[in-house]
Structure 1
Amino acid sequence: MEDTVALFVEDARAVPIEDAAKRLALKFSGNRHEHPQPCPHCGGTDTFAFNTAKNKWNCRAGGIGGNDAIGMAAHCNGLDLHAKQGLLEACSIVLDREIPDEGERESEEQRAARRRRLEQRRLQNEADAAARARHQESYREKERNRARGVYGGLAALGMASLGHGRAYLERRCAGYPDATWLRVGADVPYWHGQDERGNPVALFSGPAMVAPFIGPDLLLIGCHITWIDLERAPKYRPLLYGLTKQGAAARLAHWAFGDSPPIPEHLSAGLYEHLPSKKMRGSKKGGLIPIAGQSEACRWVGGEGIENAVAFGVWENWRDDTFYFAAGDLGNLAGPADPASRFAHPTLKRPDAKGVIRPVMIAGSKPKPDQATDDVMWVAGHVDELVLLADGDSERVMTASAMARARARHARRGRSIPIAWPRPGYDFAAMAAEAAKRAA
């Protein structure tokens, strides 16, 4: 690769994800840092997201993500970064500049000056990356402290006078654990957006189940919050909406909890948006959610989603020899994939940015080489049986690949790692709820 092209690539590496998202015409959601939306490449409803505070992006459908704008542009446009033309096309999109023409000659003086510029650019990129890392660590520590504040003052779910948490898990999972990991609060604030002075706004405050994220030292690094509405079957979670930037520009009123849902035309126009009824505070990186039992157990059972792990524990009658847990998401369970292991979905196809129908690319079953230990949830070294719970109502090929990658990532000599699958189209919580309804 010639120096001019190398400088072109280094310029692209310096572009923040926020700037690249604007050039890619991605959707910005209100005043939040996290911007979920359909993946331009894989489709879905909220499968893709970028975070302007953490300078990261992620596609759950494709099982891929990263912390640079080039990778995001390549994924959104179906470009192969392993090919030189794909890399340069992605850089061109990020920079909004033409790919350099290497046909021109340059003098020795020009070459020396260009190499100096390239070295300066590299040094600046390294300094900017270090500054972003310091900022992100400060942001994470503030979030961890907020998570500790949310979790610390709540009562254990099984002993709390407020019965919402027990009722929620009874209805979703046909039971709940007799353990103190899960907690419940009567008035947990749901923060969304900012007021005119830039202060965070509590959209509402209501009952919620709160679970900790813990690291290998068993210390809390974050928390997972599930707001509860026992009047809204079958998920029993509140229906929430937020005003977007476009809605604010149109001078629409902020949606308040208890209001009627926005009209469909406003939702389709992006003036209001659906908000998740689950949130994470603090950090989940390298952590997991404990549900029942003790981590000293040699048998661990868990997967994506608290409800799935609870339903499986209820079905097993909460075995004394088992530690039950949940991962924050599928990526936290399986870790990143080796880019070389990506493969085309056997049936799913999507149009790319140019309208060409292409197969949806799936993250492969081979873990990314040389991963950091906290790129995936931790599993204690003494565990000799790790039962991984799959989700049967997610896309089957992508989920199967991720579960195989999780098995490979957590494999150790002498460790058995079976994968338990629910019925197609179900998760274990849905199966438990259906069985409980039939038995009633």
Structure 2
Amino acid sequence: MDLGVILAFVMFGVFLALLLIGYNVAYCFAGTAVMFTFIGDLAGVFDPSSLALLPSRWFPTLSNQTLLAIPFFVLMGAVLEQSGVAERLLRSIGLVMGNLRGGVAIAVIIVGTLLAAATGVVAATVIVMGLLSLPTMVKYGYDHKLATGAIVASGTLAQLLPPSLVLILLAQQMNISVLGLFRGALLPGLLMAGLYIAYVAVVAWRRPDAAPAMPQEERDKVAGIHIGREVLVAMVPPVLLIAAVLYAIFGGIATPSESGAVGALGALVLATANRKLSWEMMRKSLRSTADIVILVMTLLFASTFFAQVFERLGGQDQATRWLSSIGGGKWGFVVVAMIAVFLLGINLEFLEITFIVVPIFVPAMLALNFTEADFIWFTVLMAINLNMAFISPPVGFSLFYLQGVKPDEVRTASIHRGALPFMGLQIVALVLVAAFPAIVTVLL
């Protein structure tokens, strides 16, 4: 192994060390790239003039129409969150299912799934669902572990269900169709939501005290006709909006960017109809959207700089040779890649993982003759894997999001223990999708 390759992997190690210490990921990318540009130049294994190629890598990324979908979908979710649509939706579904044991938890999973599809951002979904539903379930006597597990698991589906920010970025980094990835991820996402609902139903059947029905006095507060009207007004409009956006994308009527723009407009119309449209709501929604978009673009610039230096030092070629020579061919690579993604996902956000590992994986996948369908299948496996990592104790990010908004009577240990059964269900989903790729490819 020559000196350049050694420096490339030392650079990668320094980058991970800085990241785990707690430095901003964009600064870690750019800082280590600058540092090893000078070190490589002094060692005579790196030509700094090669950095002149960076603009030619940045400009195609900036002109990529796919990335336009990000601010539109984030704005759509932020408006739905800030305008109280999610709160009203949860209340209406909870009233309908309140007669069932475990009905409120099932309502949380349904609303969490819908909100995940609307926002595409895990933190927003988990925090909103935690604020809205956890105090209610605690009040009704739900087992704290079941209540918190349902929230973090359904909220984390924002990484998998289209139109997900994760899927858009993965498609851009993998150089595959966003539409194809959205189609491939839809059934696995619904499969996971179905597994969660089935688990809650089984717990409610075997342990009625852990998942009681809504108390009678709560149900008596609203007459049946009021419940029907509340469901009609609160549930139908946001569900129709989400369905229309997805239908436009899947049906080829509009591009993801165009659908996102219409979805953002539709969210503003719903906010107006709910009399929640205000300058303050718009300020918060636009600020949230700007924060995420700026973060994504900063990471794009910094990670491309890092990748250029890593590649010029010879690290990319060596990583490709190692990954493509793993025993077992495609399956051997998939197993190793999934282990790496899961371990990184315990400590890192999906953005960091996307920009760290995907540039390393793609050349190896090409060397192993992955088809476009294989790329989509592998990317969906990555998204499911990231779901697992996000709720895995003790440092899963979704657990931290919920800890920040939990009532005082809910212990942190209950949140961590409650995530374990749902993590097991995610493993089941991962194995099913890996063993039966048709779950992903049937809609392609």
TM-score scaled by length of structure 2? 0.28
Q: Would you tell me which structure has more strand in proportion to its own residues? A: 1
More relative contact order, 1 or 2 (CA 8 Å, 6+ apart): 2
TM-score scaled by length of structure 1? 0.28
Q: Would you tell me which structure has more helix in proportion to its own residues? A: 2
